[in-house]
Amino acid sequence: EAGVAQSPRYKIIEKRQSVAFWCNPISGHATLYWYQQILGQGPKLLIQFQNNGVVDDSQLPKDRFSAERLKGVDSTLKIQPAKLEDSAVYLCASSFSPGTGGFHDGYTFGSGTRLTVV
Amino acid sequence: AQSVTQLDSQVPVFEEAPVELRCNYSSSVSVYLFWYVQYPNQGLQLLLKYLSGSTLVKSINGFEAEFNKSQTSFHLRKPSVHISDTAEYFCAVSVYSGNTGKLIFGQGTTLQVKP
């Protein structure tokens, strides 16, 4: 089966610019997650979608970060304006819905987008 | 609140030696435990998981982890490591309640296997 697709693979921008990341989850996975992984740290959940609805965005810096998942499939994560501390790898993951038998098969991660803000 | 603590940030070990990567979690609800591995410049890959049943779970490449509820631990072990095992290892807990669930990660442990 095809994995979770993310693009771009790398991005370098200047502070105060805007940037967007794209994610295409595994077909049939209703739940989609965006994680931020700062160098030397574990991934931190930014936002979780169930189909096209937001389930958890408690750790999303909403003054600059936004995300959407139109039609319950692809998702985009945007940062506007970017700050130096946003430099990180942004990981997208998908899974079957909690409450279904497939949920605990695990989460499948994409390769990530490495963002460098200079 | 749920959290995961990986007790060692770096573990250097010689090839063919045994290794243990330690992980402790805290949670007030039932949890499901995972180990993920991240090779350089690659994404996270599931290594093994504990959902229920036998407390000892094994991966296809020789790693194993044991769920210890009384000590709230899920340590990862391998009796003999290989150079190719050099990677970042993340312990994670899946917190599941009703129709919501999310994966919370530890800080990671870098396993450095030396020849």
Per-chain mean pLDDT for chain B: 90
Mean pLDDT across A41-70: 92
Q: What integer pLDDT is reported at residue A1 of this predicted model? A: 59
Alpha carbon distance B12, A25 (integer Å):
35
Question: Chain A residues with CB inside 8 Å of B107's CB?
Answer: 40-42
Higher local confidence (pLDDT), B65 or B97: B65
Tell me whether residues B42 and A45 touch, CB distance under 8 A: no
Q: What integer pLDDT is reported at residue B60 of this predicted model? A: 86
Who contacts B52 (Cβ-Cβ below 8 Å, separation ≥6)?
Answer: none
Q: Is B104 on the interface with A (CB under 8 A)?
A: yes
CB count in 10 Å sphere of residue A53: 9
Task: Put residue A90 in one of left, alpha, beta given phi > 0 → left and psi -120 to 50 → alpha.
Answer: beta
Alpha carbon distance B31, B95 (integer Å):
6
Per-chain mean pLDDT for chain A: 91
Positive or negative torsion for Cα A110, A111, A113, A116 = positive
pLDDT for B70-109, tens place per residue? Answer: 999 999 999 999 999 999 999 998 877 666 677 889 999 9
Alpha carbon distance A65, A19 (integer Å):
10
Mean pLDDT across A33-51: 92
Cβ burial B35-57 (10 Å sphere, 16+ → b, else e): bbbbeeeebbebbbbbbeeeeeb
Residues 38-97 of A with CB under 8 A from B: 40-45, 48, 50, 55-56, 91, 93, 95, 97
Question: Chain B residues with CB inside 8 Å of A33's CB?
Answer: 102-103
pLDDT for A51-61, tens place per residue? Answer: 889 988 999 99
pLDDT for B35-60, tens place per residue? Answer: 999 998 788 899 999 988 889 999 98
Asked if the model's pLDDT at residue B13 lies above 70, the reply is yes
Mean pLDDT across A33-37: 95
Nearest-Cα distance to chain B for A55, in Å, is 7
Asked if the model's pLDDT at residue B28 lies above 70, the reply is no
Q: What integer pLDDT is reported at residue A14 of this predicted model? A: 97
Q: What integer pLDDT is reported at residue B74 of this predicted model? A: 96
User: Which band of pLDDT confidence, cut at 50, 70 and 90, is reported for residue A16?
Assistant: very high
| Residue showing tokens 């993951």 | A93
Q: What integer pLDDT is reported at residue B18 of this predicted model? A: 97
